[in-house]
Structure 1
Amino acid sequence: MDEIRLSVNAANELSPTASDAIQKAHGELEEPAENPTKYAVHLGNAKGVIVGDNARQWNTFWELPKSVRRLLIVLLVAVLVVGSGFVVVRWVVPLFAPIYKTTFLIDAAEGDLASVVGALSTVVGNSGEHDSQSLRSFGGDCGSDDNTTQLVGFGTGNRQEIADAARSVRQGTKATLQRGIVEAVSDFTAPLSLEARQVNRIIVVTRHGKDACDPDDEFVQTQIRDRVAAAGLTIEFRFIGYQVDDNDDDRLTKLAAQLKTQEPTFTKSPEALKRALAWFTTIEPVLRSSQSVVNVLNPTVDKLNSATEALKNGRFDLADTAMAEARDAVVDIEIKDLDGRTSSADAVRLRDMAVRLRTLQAAVIEAADALLGSARSGRNLTEPLAVYTKAADAYNAEARNMTDALTSLRAQGPGGTQ
């Protein structure tokens, strides 16, 4: 035992240099040094670091040339830019697309231009707030670059600009109808132009049924039809013939037929012109969006009614399918369009009816959910079925009211019968 103690003492009496080396080797420098950097180890250029007694770690480094590193950074940034650009174009930009895009194409050739300008200036102020609109005129010398001119480009909130531009239109010479329509179609495909979410249309107000620069009606109709097809868009036309010579009525009618749109509306007086223009500008979109609400919601409620009968026979699969279709019946775009068309009492009334119809359909779905839950659990269906029937009856009654209102308003339009 004494020899062991002597050995330990001998070890403790090692020189300070040797003792420090042993302590350093065993990592016993736990006391913080007065100078924190005195024992710092810099591993900036290290190729490997050993941690612990038995652990091993290998670090492999590739030194890339500076030019290559720069190229990689540029490529990475390019990928990020292209990717974010795709997201913007694919999902973000369409959110800002207008519901309607409308071009007013007016005839500036010889005739009563003042009445056309007056009607447009009055009517355009009552158009939809969310509509993207533009103004183009036609009339001038054959072959001239300025025989049709876009006076106001597409945009929302430009109703006053269109009215002011219409009042500045100067009388032209010849009715360059063909070129006016062709260039109006091209306006829809201009760079960075957003396609309408629902309707692209051109409202043509003309005092001439034929093109003054090309007597071949068939050629003119084919040229316009082909240009519309080449645009790759569905563009609707509304033709208003104002004081058109009786011999030219058929030409305008044939052009409308070539374009597969409704027949032209012919008017003789400034008052009739204003009514026709107001109809296409303000009332027709209201009818269209309102009818879309009915067309979307009614079939789903009819299917839910059929599903209630299937529940009695345990056909939960049919009920589930009907429920899914009912929940997918979204009419938010149509309601938004109607919200921006409150310039007339008819528009307000139909908007309110559409909102009520959507609310009543939500009540029908809620009652159907409760009915389906009761059926799955095997509970008595008498009470939930009564609740569902009441909700469905309320919806159907409002749907009939709206259908009647649409029928009545439609009868007041061009070609309608009271």
Structure 2
Amino acid sequence: MDPIRPDITARTGPAGLTPAASSAIESAHSTKATESAEPPKYAVNVDRSKNFVIGDNAQLRTTFVQLPRSVRRLLVVLLVGVLVVASGFVVFRWVVPTFAPIYKTAFLIDAAEGDLASVVGALDTVVGNAGDNDSQSLRSFGGECGSDDNTTQLVGFGTGNRQDIAEAAKSLRQGTKATLQRGIVEAVNDFTTPLSLNARQVNRIIVVTRHGRDACDPDDEFVRTQIRDRVTAAGLSIEFRFIGYQVGDDEPLQELASTLSMPEPTFTSSPEYLRRVLHWFTTLEPVLRSSQSVVGVLNPTVEKLNSATKSVEDGRFDLAEAALTEARRAVVDLQIEDLDGRTGAPEAVRLRDMSVRPRTLQTEVVTAAETLLDTARSGRNLSEPLDVYTRAAAAYNAEAQKMTEELTSLRAKGPGGTG
């Protein structure tokens, strides 16, 4: 994370400012614009009367039109209809999205021939550690080519359905052929059902397969094209994470990930490594992403703070105020909310606390910078507010450094990392 540079030089009184800046301050204090609203000249109460004379000439006429009862009823119905439509628009446009999950994850499990028990065991171990605000589902694939049941959604999307997913996975029956293409296409369709809420941050499909290619179509390129086109047609941003279990470095699976512009598959050979990788994608990767998002919001704010203090030093109070206004807009509430719901791993708890602390400290730095600017404008001694600002900046920088080190350590534990 970027450090705050508390490198402004302390100055005392107006002498520390440029002549132009001091003149601007005196001029600002000596001129204040005032506005007054003229009260209304007349207050007229019209109550069931047809004619009022105000003054000598003005005349107000009120005409009452009696509408037929059928017309009045039609107008009432139309008004009610408009209100219902408007209310529905408000609900679906602003209210309903607030209930959308932060993450929406579909587990797609290969049930065709092979070590299905280890896949089910790994899923059972990690699914309970997903975030409280995650909506999850479970689908399997494997069966006869062309059969309607060669892929099945076992558990639909929902929050709080971890136990349902674990139990459904245990009830999986061994299939025959790996119908990978249809499994992925139908998993994408699961995201587009009527009234389905998209995730506020990430829609994703975690594929665990023991086969790198579709068993029903030998044309790998055609299969990749079909899957890519279906994902594009869904109109959603859906991420894929491919985990190959006991398949080696399978080239078709790598090419499928490349076609979809997704990270390379992770290949595992043992049940223990499979659990670690599935735990990473299910539990730790979202923690890392939300924490990095916090950094992505706070770092530009640091730049604004450094710009503000430099502008104070130069006597450009207008630029300092503009920079502080932008610094105040830093909001990481959604990222913190996501981290609040991810307490299934010690890493998540640590990074949640580490994310909250810099946010709090940065608020203190902004407040100190505002005081510094106000003091400079008034021409008072800057020594004390500068000291407060320097100490606040140092505290923030120390916490930012700790968070950077923790993120680096966590990143190393992921697939391809050194941890």
TM-score, structure 2 length as denominator?
0.85
Cα distance, 1:49 vs structure 2? 7.6
Cα distance, 1:189 vs structure 2? 1.2
CA contact (8 A) 1:342 1:348 kept: yes
Cα distance, 1:64 vs structure 2? 2.5
CA distance in 2, matches of 1:342, 1:221: 37
Choose which of 82, 85, 88 in structure 1 pairs with 2:88.
85
Aligned to 1:216: 219
Correspondence 1:357 to 2:358: yes
Aligned to 2:239: 236
CA distance in 1, matches of 2:278, 2:326: 38
Cα distance, 1:50 vs structure 2? 8.8
CA distance in 2, matches of 1:51, 1:410: 80
Map of 1:6-405 to 2, 5 A cutoff? 60-246=63-249, 249-405=250-406
CA distance in 2, matches of 1:393, 1:192: 49
Aligned to 2:20: none
| Paired residue type of 1:63 | Q
- The CA RMSD over aligned residues, in Å, is 2.0
Q: Percent identity?
A: 75
CA contact (8 A) 2:244 2:266 kept: yes
Cα 1:172–1:310 change in 2 (3 A) is same
CA distance in 2, matches of 1:218, 1:414: 26
Aligned to 1:14: none
Q: Please say which of residues 167-176 and 320-329 is displaced more in the overlay.
A: 320-329
Cα distance, 1:57 vs structure 2? 8.8
Cα distance, 1:51 vs structure 2? 10
CA contact (8 A) 1:298 1:399 kept: no
CA contact (8 A) 1:140 1:146 kept: yes
Cα distance, 1:217 vs structure 2? 0.8
CA distance in 2, matches of 1:375, 1:156: 52
Cα 1:290–1:48 change in 2 (3 A) is closer
CA contact (8 A) 1:208 1:245 kept: no
CA distance in 1, matches of 2:240, 2:198: 16
CA distance in 1, matches of 2:173, 2:149: 12
Cα 1:266–1:49 change in 2 (3 A) is closer
CA distance in 2, matches of 1:173, 1:222: 24
Cα distance, 1:375 vs structure 2? 1.3
Aligned to 1:18: none
CA contact (8 A) 2:284 2:348 kept: yes
CA contact (8 A) 2:248 2:269 kept: no
CA distance in 2, matches of 1:378, 1:51: 61
Cα distance, 1:62 vs structure 2? 2.9
SS of match in other structure, 2:322: helix
Cα distance, 1:245 vs structure 2? 5.0
Q: Which runs of 5+ in 2 are unaligned?
A: 1-47, 54-58
Q: Please say which of residues 403-412 and 62-71 is displaced more in the overlay.
A: 62-71
Cα distance, 1:239 vs structure 2? 0.5
SS of match in other structure, 1:202: strand
CA distance in 2, matches of 1:384, 1:408: 37
Aligned to 2:37: none
CA distance in 1, matches of 2:313, 2:97: 45
Q: Please say which of residues 200-209 and 225-234 is displaced more in the overlay.
A: 225-234
Q: Which runs of 5+ in 1 are unaligned?
A: 1-46
CA distance in 1, matches of 2:173, 2:347: 35
CA contact (8 A) 1:48 1:57 kept: no
Cα 1:257–1:64 change in 2 (3 A) is same
For 1:188-234, what per-residue CA distance to the aligned partner results, in whole angstroms no more than 9, with x for missing partners? 11110111111111000000100011111111111111111111111
Cα 1:211–1:255 change in 2 (3 A) is same
Number of equivalent positions:
369
CA distance in 2, matches of 1:50, 1:288: 71
Cα 1:368–1:59 change in 2 (3 A) is closer
CA distance in 1, matches of 2:399, 2:130: 27
SS of match in other structure, 1:227: helix
Cα 1:268–1:67 change in 2 (3 A) is same
CA distance in 2, matches of 1:239, 1:359: 38
Cα distance, 1:267 vs structure 2? 0.4
| Paired residue type of 1:223 | Q
CA distance in 1, matches of 2:234, 2:192: 7
CA contact (8 A) 1:135 1:152 kept: yes
CA contact (8 A) 2:107 2:207 kept: yes
Aligned to 2:26: none
SS of match in other structure, 1:379: coil
Q: Which has the higher contact order (CA 8 A, sep 6+)?
A: 2
CA contact (8 A) 2:123 2:275 kept: yes
Cα distance, 1:244 vs structure 2? 1.2
